Structure 1
Amino acid sequence: MAFWDSLIRFTASEDKETYWAELHLHTHVELGLEVDGFSSIQALENGEGSKRVTVKKLLAPTPNPATPIYCIGLNYRNHAEEAKLTPPSCPPMWFKPAAALANHGDDILFPTVAHTNFPDFEGELTVILRGPIKSIAKEDVISSILGYTIGNDLTARMFQDPKRTGGQYTYAKAFDAFAPLGPRLVHPSKFTPSAPTSVTTRVNGKVVQQSPLDFIFPVAEIVSYLSQGTTLPYGSAIMTGTPAGVGWFQDPQTPLHDGDVVEVEIQPIGILRNRILFER
């Protein structure tokens, strides 16, 4: 089996087909790269049937884009403190539907209903599972992780108001394209999801979130917890929570606006970048 340190998923200029390709971590992820493309991760790891192609459009680096996205809340003490909430004893979880998945570089079209309900950002480390798994122990999780990427848990924050939705977060976060992922997938042997590695979110170049990956619930605990009695499919994406600094608490007068560019950076994964556009 071929070893890789990071992968990209993309469509090719030559035939518009979808491919996977290996990139060394020192190689900048960009359009126009000429790479050896494979039809699947399995084909890449087995060295079967590569084709020299050019990267036309980067896609979310998950091998199963048809699955719902698992989301974890209140996983940083600094975020719980700014929200004036007690850190939970178990990871709070909700789903984003498969239609929420979006790609690095996509323009994210915010529906009209979200414009005046505090459209907001949440930069997050995201886990992609090799799976499928069910009821696994924490010590067995590492072998079930395909890799790590970056996510932005976009939210229409007002719909999280308990008086409106009874404390349920899904509606606020489940709009189409509200879960961009990318730009690459980094192998778990090349990335340790803990401090001092940090997550930084910028809006139009201004830093709005910056925190070490100082989780209340480490990745192994999250994955094990979600898998108890539940099958997590191959390629499932798990957003691991956001740190302090989300717009609602940082500056309630300045949510995301039409045309804003949001960047989420976690190195060595890279920078996930998307522009926000308001539906007319």
Structure 2
Amino acid sequence: MASWSKLVRFTDLAGNIHFGEPTDDFSHAKVWEGISLFSLARTDRVERIAALLPPYQPDSILCIGLNYLDHAKECNRPIPSYPVLFYKPKLTVNGPFSDVVVPQHCKSLDYENELCVVMARDAKDVAESDAIDYILGYTVGNDVSSREWQQQERSGGQFSFAKSCDGFLPFGPAIVSARLVPDPQNLALVTRVNGEVVQDGSTCNMIFSVAKIISFLSQGTTIPAGALIMTGTPAGVAAFKTSPPVWLRNGDVVECAISGIGFIKNKMVTQ
């Protein structure tokens, strides 16, 4: 377990980058020195937060699709028997309050509010009963998706290309220590677009729990320390909310919040 309660990565007023434990209003942070999540040492130095960055740079980003009962139903897809895995590349990582720059080839832009898990240590062949012990903490992520590139005729039904553009994973603002989240299956997720609620769900509606996901993904394959696991999104995505769908447009602001974890807020900016 981490000795900090919440961890952010930020720039100070001089432009220097630090890890730190933030005050409640995220105006200042007590600095933790180190170059990675696993080399941090507490200091007594406090710095003013000029800008919040992604909490860290994960080398491995594992994503689970169709993991909420209500979302699978709105997609008119059968309930999966096993977790549906896809990946996002490292350059999708974006700040918790940064703009999401949308390439010209992405016209059907959608949001997906997701509970994200940060792994504390390597995990291989982990039993479901032990899986929670491998978690460093939790954070909030938006799996930004360009739906036309998920169509069968364009992608063969695969998810990754639609979700892999640079900056298509804003997350943060902090990693919340696992010890502060005793039950990851009892968290509320709310998404707003320009202030209007579009997703209102709960992790209790997951098909595969956080523990089951970790156990399944670790069978025969090492999930490395520091990996980020995105655990799926509830119903209410733009693709199935109206007919025809109202996609995200230039200037739209998406806020993804998870109870006990925090919120991120990002403006969509089309190229």
Report if TM-score (shorter chain) is over 0.5: yes
Q: Which amino acid aligns with 1:210?
A: D
Cα distance change on mapping 1:11 and 1:172 into 2, 3 Å: same
Structure 1 equivalent of residue 5 of structure 2? 5
TM-score, normalisation: structure 2: 0.93
Alignment deviations for residues 93-143 of structure 1 (CA, whole Å, 9 cap, x no partner)? 1000000011111011000100x2x11100111101112222211122122
Identity %: 39
Structure 2 equivalent of residue 261 of structure 1? 253
Matched, 1:190 2:180: yes
Structure 2 equivalent of residue 154 of structure 1? 144
TM-score, normalisation: structure 1: 0.90
Structure 2: distance between partners of 1:2 and 1:272: 22
Structure 1: which 5+ residue stretches go unaligned?
none
Structure 2: distance between partners of 1:160 and 1:148: 27
2:52–2:173 contact (8 Å) kept in structure 1? yes
Structure 2 equivalent of residue 60 of structure 1? 54
Matched, 1:123 2:120: no
Structure 2: distance between partners of 1:223 and 1:260: 34
Equivalent of residue 95 in structure 1, options 87, 90, 99: 87
Structure 1: distance between partners of 2:149 and 2:8: 34
Aligned length: 266
1:201–1:265 contact (8 Å) kept in structure 2? yes
Q: Which amino acid aligns with 1:28?
A: D
Matched, 1:228 2:219: yes
Cα distance change on mapping 1:269 and 1:2 into 2, 3 Å: closer
Q: Which amino acid aligns with 2:151?
A: D
Q: Which amino acid aligns with 1:108?
A: V
Structure 2: distance between partners of 1:66 and 1:270: 19
What secondary structure sits across from 2:29 in the alignment? strand
Matched, 1:51 2:45: yes
Q: CA deviation at 1:207?
A: 0.5
1:70–1:94 contact (8 Å) kept in structure 2? yes
What secondary structure sits across from 1:141 in the alignment? helix
Q: CA deviation at 1:55?
A: 1.1
2:61–2:87 contact (8 Å) kept in structure 1? yes
Structure 1: distance between partners of 2:92 and 2:256: 17
Equivalent of residue 97 in structure 2, options 100, 105, 122: 105
For the aligned residue pairs, the C-alpha RMSD in angstroms reads 1.7
Matched, 1:79 2:76: no
Structure 2: distance between partners of 1:209 and 1:129: 26
Stretch deviating more after TM superposition (135-144 or 232-241): 135-144
What secondary structure sits across from 2:214 in the alignment? helix
2:58–2:228 contact (8 Å) kept in structure 1? no
Structure 2: distance between partners of 1:78 and 1:99: 30
Structure 2 equivalent of residue 17 of structure 1? 16
1:5–1:23 contact (8 Å) kept in structure 2? no
Structure 2: which 5+ residue stretches go unaligned?
none
Structure 2: distance between partners of 1:103 and 1:185: 13
Structure 1: distance between partners of 2:123 and 2:11: 29
2:191–2:199 contact (8 Å) kept in structure 1? yes
Stretch deviating more after TM superposition (212-221 or 4-13): 4-13
Structure 1: distance between partners of 2:257 and 2:155: 31
Structure 2: distance between partners of 1:129 and 1:43: 15
